[in-house]
Structure 1
Amino acid sequence: MPLNAGETGFGGVPEGGLAAGVGNSETAPLLIPEPDPEPVNQWQPLSKGELETAAGGPGWRRARCYLVVLFWIAWVSMLAISVAIVVMSPRPVGTSLKWWQRTVYYRLQPDLSTEAQAEGSEGVSGVCERLPYLRSLGIGALILEGVFTKRVFSSNLTETAENMETLAQIQHLLIESNKADLRVVLDFCNVDPLTLQDVAGNLDKLSNHSAAAQHALKFWLEQGVAGFVICDTDAAYSEKTLLEWRSVLEEFSSQEEERIVVVKQTRDVLHPLNGSGQSNVTLVNMVMRSILPYSDHPLSAQEVADAIETQLQTSEEDIWPSWTVGGEAPHDLKRLLLILMMTLPGSPALEYNPQTGQTQSESLGGGLSHRETDEPSDTNRYKQKTKNSATALFTTLSHSKAREEALLYGSFTFLPFNTSSNSSSSSNSTSSSPSSPPILAFLRSWGCVEFLVLLNVGPEPHSLDPAWAPSLPETGVFVASTGMNHLGSTSLYTLKLQPNEAMAIKLLTPGSYS
């Protein structure tokens, strides 16, 4: 029986038999090769001619124009944004200070007696010799204290020969002060013009006394006096009297040369004007305050520290303050108090001590006496070195006060210390006594400029705790110190204050300059 294998034969062999299948299988390739890739043109840089031809086309010209315009638009936009940031950013506005707000005052009580003039040491002639020296130190005004009696202040200034002699001395001092570019302010504290003549009590007499007081004021203003000082306990400290005085002062004042009235505060709180219910005193220019309270005995270091801390924590008032020491402090704290007065907001008023011949800076009054000494040369050299150091301290402080905006009208911030952390940080060197006053500090800021003032009133050294004020810059530059023995830059983390030492440091903010 034949097998019907189909057209292809048995098992699907193609027709023609095995020979045909074998032949076809041998000629057919086992692997089908991939087609050859098409040739790729390799990249070649354009030649100079081709580049010039392509760059000169309209498309490239249009692209270059767009890029140039985009560059200038971006540059002008960045410039405009920078100017807008500078203009719109908050910044302090400089305050236009009057002369009496920029001045360092020197409280002086010259001896007007005939013996003092003959000796030539503490009399008017001796003071006149030292006026150029005082001006070179940075002092701008003198406050003459204790030179007025009832006869001198009387409207009739030519009653007696003694009045004439006293008047001549004061006029000579005014002339010499004007030559040395020093203003003079007369102290009328505890001198009541209403008691200089007999008062019957009727209105006409009172009116005459008011006219007599105004006549006396005009007389001294004509002599070139820059202002007057009264106490807050005087009868002149009243709204009625000060209004009359203000009219006289405005008559002699100008835009450049304003005549002033200073009130010396003798009580803890400045009371409102007599007859005025307003607490804001607008009829006086400046209030002279004492840092230390008056006491019958020298104050201890703790009492000085408490008084200073009380003043630092007292809020500022509208009236421009003037600072003086007031009470008697230990000798070791004289320079510390000088740095404090010169860095507080307001105008410092240094006091001359006629008994010791020294001021708060231990140098200003030393030149007022010309006594020879037979002390050993080593002692003289030590005193001269101390005097030079005190002079350098005061000169540095006065010049810094005159040119640094932060010390003139910068903001004030009291910086309280953490006593426990401060004690622990200084335990490695010297352990602080529990009764030792802590460091007192405050900050004067104006824009990006900051002055840090540190006061160590106690007898123990103190080191700053790094965690005390983390917002402050770490580095600064010494401006002044009580011993004038610190120079150059310093780090607050390694700073150590010696006993009774004070220092003023200008802080350096990273990325800023001043």
Structure 2
Amino acid sequence: MMNKDTEIDMKEVELNELDPEKQPMTGDVQATGGEKNGSVKLKVPEDEVTFTGLSKEELMKVAGTPGWVRTRWVLLVLFWLGWVGMLAGAIVIIVQAPRCKPIPEMNWWNEGPLYQVSDLEAFSEGMAGVEEKLDAINQLKVKGLVLGPLHTVQADQPSTLNLEEIDPTQGREAELVAVLEKAHKKGISVVLDLTPNYPGAAPWFSPSDVDSVMEKVQAAATRWLRLGVDGIKISDLTVASSSVDWSKLQAAVQGNRTEDTKKRALMGVVESISAAEVSQLINTTGVDLLLSDLLSSKNGGVERIKAMDTLISQQRSLGWGLGAAQQDQLSKWATTPGLIRLYQLLLLTMPGTPVFTYGDEIGLHARQGSESPKMLWDIEQEPAEGAVVNETAEAERKERVDVRKWFRSLSELRVKERSLLHGDYYHLYSSPSSLSFLRVWDQSERYITAVNWGSAPETLTLKLAPTEGVELPETAKVKLSTDADLAAESTVSLEKITLGAGQAILLQFPYTG
């Protein structure tokens, strides 16, 4: 019997060792009631209590009591008072908020710069090359591409004039169609230059030829517009508009305009006339855009400011260029890289449409005589590693790259900032070799252009005539600058600004209601 009891005890010890949960938590002390420490007894209730809420009859009894009736009315009154209060607050905010100024009518030729290509062979080795270069042109935020003249004619020989055929040296009609299709997909409009006697002494041959030539221009305009061209350009508008058939050309280009159709532009060019005469021609001829040579013929800041003052009300019909009226490169008039940047800034911030000739975005050097300079497309290509480098040529390449970046930054601002796109203009300062003006639009960022093309530093004292709703702050931020002493993102005082020789600056300050 003793052996059996011993076996039972030993088995109990082994089981206790295998089940640690049943081991006492305090050594050998036995829990009260004979239970081992660590054991928990749970008492599960036999009947679970559930809450069923009020029945419909009970709920209706409670809802009809005077206390609940008063509570409901209080909540209802509070709801409507809150709703009426929010409505009144919204009305007060709307009434007190400044009203947005209505945007003026804008056409595609007002939305960005125009880019002239007079010699397709020099630009891209013919019309087929133009299509290939449209991606590069689009990067400049160009809104209009002006091609030509492309038609066939012998200088000063009206009998050889054929405005409805493309000169084979410039390309083929099928290639022009391809250019139109790709340009339109990129949002670029295409204008065709139909200046009749473009290689000769006078654009319209002789006074006796004007009427007969105008008939040919009108017929050609109709043909090219049907093909998909977006506008027609002619030179010497003063002579052209004197023709008895001028109204026929107007009707061919500007006729059948509706709100649902894209407008076709009639563009004219004039040279050697005053700002007042330019204004009169815009009014009497009805052209959509008039490009003049006022910037190149008037090289004083006072004269240039006066021209802008005279033409500001007609800015949406006005094109500005430096040499563009003669289809010359910018570098013919702006002879240093610094001046090229200066005039790029001036043209892209003036009120009106900036017009450039191909290569102006890189400062392409103009050639002497009538020969067109060959466009350079490989300026981004750096010399191969280990190759012998011409330091002068490499410096020129890097300069062209930098000028193009400057142009692109200005062009991007021009097409997105309302103050520069269609804003109001106020002159601030002018001297024989410098000028400054302010561009403002409603509740948008404001911009100040200041340029000094002189050979010596100049201090500009900016003054704004009393104008309702517009005033100059004490300081402004430098947005873009060619002057090393006026770095971008720095803050300058507007009381006096000193610009170095041949330097330009674009300042920015916010609208404050």
Structure of greater Rg: 1
**Aligned equivalents of 2:380, 2:88: Cα separation in 1:** 70
- Correspondence for 1:399 among 375, 396, 412: 412
Please tell me the residue identity of whatever aligns with 1:325.
L
Q: Within the alignment, does 1:97 sit opposite 2:106 as a pair? A: yes
Superposed displacement of residue 226, structure 1: 1.8
Contact map agreement 2:413 2:420 (CA 8 A) in 1: yes
Structure 1: which 5+ runs fail to align? Answer: 1-55, 418-435
**Aligned equivalents of 2:392, 2:474: Cα separation in 1:** 40
**Aligned equivalents of 2:380, 2:129: Cα separation in 1:** 9
RMSD: 4.7
Aligned counterparts, 1:292-307, within 5 A? 292-294=295-297, 303-307=299-303
**Aligned equivalents of 1:64, 1:131: Cα separation in 2:** 67
Q: Within the alignment, does 1:348 sit opposite 2:351 as a pair? A: no
Superposed displacement of residue 458, structure 1: 2.4
Tell me the alpha carbon deviations over residues 201-222 of structure 1, each in whole angstroms, 9 at most, x when there is no partner.
9xxxx7x866544322222223
Distance 1:306 1:353, change over 3 A: farther
Aligned counterparts, 1:229-268, within 5 A? 229-233=233-237, 235-238=239-242, 240-250=244-254, 255-268=260-273
Count of residues in Structure 1 that have an aligned counterpart in Structure 2:
407
**Aligned equivalents of 2:477, 2:161: Cα separation in 1:** 54
Q: Secondary structure at the match of 2:94?
A: helix
Distance 1:383 1:394, change over 3 A: same
Please tell me the residue identity of whatever aligns with 1:448.
Q
Aligned counterparts, 1:67-466, within 5 A? 76-86=87-97, 89-110=98-119, 112=121, 123-150=126-153, 154=161, 165-166=168-169, 168-169=171-172, 171-173=174-176, 175-180=178-183, 181=186, 182-189=188-195, 191=197, 212-233=216-237, 235-238=239-242, 240-250=244-254, 255-269=260-274, 280-281=283-284, 283-294=286-297, 303-318=299-314, 320-326=317-323, 328-331=333-336, 332-352=338-358, 357-358=364-365, 365-367=375-377, 376=389, 378-416=391-429, 437=432, 439-449=434-444, 450-462=446-458
**Aligned equivalents of 1:101, 1:465: Cα separation in 2:** 31
Distance 1:468 1:271, change over 3 A: closer
Contact map agreement 2:238 2:270 (CA 8 A) in 1: no
Distance 1:278 1:76, change over 3 A: same
**Aligned equivalents of 2:284, 2:175: Cα separation in 1:** 34
Contact map agreement 1:130 1:367 (CA 8 A) in 2: no
Contact map agreement 1:304 1:457 (CA 8 A) in 2: no
Contact map agreement 2:457 2:501 (CA 8 A) in 1: yes
Q: Secondary structure at the match of 2:305?
A: helix
Distance 1:247 1:384, change over 3 A: same
Superposed displacement of residue 468, structure 1: 8.0
Superposed displacement of residue 452, structure 1: 1.0
**Aligned equivalents of 2:233, 2:447: Cα separation in 1:** 31
Q: Secondary structure at the match of 2:284?
A: coil
Q: Within the alignment, does 1:502 sit opposite 2:504 as a pair? A: yes
Q: Percent identity?
A: 23
Please tell me the residue identity of whatever aligns with 1:132.
D
Tell me the alpha carbon deviations over residues 461-504 of structure 1, each in whole angstroms, 9 at most, x when there is no partner.
34565988994123434333336984325233586433211122
| TM-score, scaled to structure 1 | 0.64
Tell me the alpha carbon deviations over residues 362-409 of structure 1, each in whole angstroms, 9 at most, x when there is no partner.
x99432899999984543543343223211211111111111111111
Distance 1:234 1:225, change over 3 A: farther
Larger deviation: 317-326 or 235-244?
Answer: 235-244
Please tell me the residue identity of whatever aligns with 2:119.
P
| TM-score, scaled to structure 2 | 0.64
Contact map agreement 1:292 1:307 (CA 8 A) in 2: no
User: For residue 41 of structure 1, what is the aligned residue in structure 2?
Assistant: none
User: For residue 476 of structure 1, what is the aligned residue in structure 2?
Assistant: 476
Distance 1:372 1:216, change over 3 A: farther
Q: Secondary structure at the match of 1:284?
A: coil
Contact map agreement 1:473 1:509 (CA 8 A) in 2: no
Contact map agreement 1:264 1:288 (CA 8 A) in 2: yes
**Aligned equivalents of 1:506, 1:440: Cα separation in 2:** 17
**Aligned equivalents of 1:237, 1:131: Cα separation in 2:** 33
Tell me the alpha carbon deviations over residues 341-366 of structure 1, each in whole angstroms, 9 at most, x when there is no partner.
11111111012369x8448xxx9943
Contact map agreement 1:134 1:364 (CA 8 A) in 2: no
**Aligned equivalents of 1:309, 1:215: Cα separation in 2:** 40
Q: Secondary structure at the match of 1:488?
A: coil
Contact map agreement 1:473 1:508 (CA 8 A) in 2: no
